[in-house]
Amino acid sequence: MVSNRGVVYMGPRKVEVQSIDFPKLVDPRGKKCEHGVILKVVTTNICGSDQHIYRGRFAAPEGMTLGHEITGEVVEVGRDVEFIKVGDLVSVPFNVACGRCRNCKERHTDICMNTNPDFPCGAYGFNLGGWPGGQTEYHMVPYADFQLLKFPDKDQAMERIHDLTLLSDILPTGYHGCVIAGVGTGSTVYIAGAGPVGRCAAASARLLGASAIIVGDVNQTRLQLVKKSGYETVDLTQDVPLADQIESILGVREVDCGVDAVGFEAHGHGKDAAEQPEAVLNDLMSVVRFGGGMGIPGIYTSPDLGGPTDLAKQGKLILDFGKAWIKSQFAMWGQCPVMKYHRLLMQAILGGRMDYLSEVTNIEFISLDQAPEAYRTFDQGAPKKFVIDPHNSTKKAA
């Protein structure tokens, strides 16, 4: 039997690379998955959502394998798989979706009704249905014919793997945030958060034709990366109101669209600002114009084990909703339904329409054994996107 190793959560700010069982075509409840495949993992990324778990802010059992951003080569297929073949190179949406329930049929694969017995939402490497994470050498994916995005040419895909590895989550998530906020030709957009999702949102706004793309954060090295990549920035550590900073860029104090790429671990404004989970949402209500839109793919959770207040610990926020109401703004929130976008984004990448993506995402490939240190570095705010290459596949391809 081929061995397998993975990144295992051992408690707040503690992860280990351990030997784990080789995957079987079986779901978390022991039911046979003849509709599934086993992948040899080519790349598996560390996500900001993994950091919520790493910090102990998103409930997860000790011993859980982490990771939900997976690209791999098919090495075994179940008897019910018709269209995915051994040897195919595929991208795995982080949402686990059956393709058979009402929500999946309506393209809401983020809220599949059958992959989590507790409530409609399944995902790898979270406490959402018991699906093991994919920061591993080998990984099982159910409902393969429905879920997997096959790359049309393996050699071409490996040449672009630094961009295509983002299709499992953060690129569709950033794009989704822009789409649901109404970003389009000539629009102006403020993106809260210069982490990997925020940077993908900036690249997505560019693809969608925005005329002005402004990214805000408190992390100086991330802001420098965004600025160097050709986007406008606002520094939220300054004691200058956000609207004033936007006005200094646009000449007006509001934008057409806003995207929350931060979520519930947001901080307020100022050099020593404390954590304030509703800060980004209130910012967007303030600086998005009358009739403008807000996309909120940033994670909010209930309960929030480390919330700064009793309300926050319950996942409850204090929002300036009256302002949003009188401004007739619209908003949409929740996980990204990756399958709604990943094929189109793959084609944009392969067609050379997003050649600017690599600069702003700033990927660093690492080995599986380097993952614990990468978690620590990412937790400290490094302006990188760490991508685990468990079999040294990217170097072999190069």
User: Tell me, what CATH number does 131's domain have?
Assistant: 3.90.180.10
Angle 64-66-67 (CA atoms, 0-180°, nearest 5)?
150
Record the tokens describing residue 86, joined without a space.
């051994």
pLDDT of residue 305: 78
Q: 148 and 206 share a domain?
A: no
Q: 320 and 353 share a domain?
A: no
Q: 103 and 194 share a domain?
A: no
Burial call 48-66: b when 16+ CB within 10 Å, e when fewer: bbbbbbbeebbebeeebbb
| Residue 210, Ramachandran bin (φ over 0: left; ψ between -120 and 50: alpha; else beta) | beta
Q: Which of 291, 308, 333 is the last residue of a domain?
A: 333
pLDDT of residue 2: 83
Bridge-based pairing of strands 5-9 and 15-19 is: antiparallel
Q: 243 and 350 share a domain?
A: no
Q: Which domain holds residue 307?
A: 174-333
pLDDT of residue 271: 83
pLDDT of residue 395: 85
Per the structure, the count of domains in the chain is 2
The ranges of the chain with pLDDT < 70 are: 1
Q: 194 and 290 share a domain?
A: yes
- Go through the chain and tell me how many residues it has: 398
Q: 301 and 373 share a domain?
A: no
The torsion of the CA quartet 300, 304, 308, 311, rounded to 10 degrees, works out to 80
Q: 308 and 249 share a domain?
A: yes
Helix (H, G, I), strand (E, B) or coil at 166: helix
Q: 113 and 232 share a domain?
A: no
Tens-place pLDDT, residues 41-80: 999 999 999 999 999 998 899 999 999 999 999 999 999 9
Q: 57 and 142 share a domain?
A: yes
Q: 321 and 372 share a domain?
A: no
pLDDT of residue 373: 98
Q: 149 and 277 share a domain?
A: no
Helix (H, G, I), strand (E, B) or coil at 335: coil
Residue 128: which of 119, 139, 137 has the closest Cα?
A: 119
pLDDT of residue 1: 61
CATH number of residue 280's parent domain:
3.40.50.720
Q: Which of 333, 354, 384 is the last residue of a domain?
A: 333
Q: Which of 282, 308, 333 is the last residue of a domain?
A: 333
Q: 270 and 303 share a domain?
A: yes
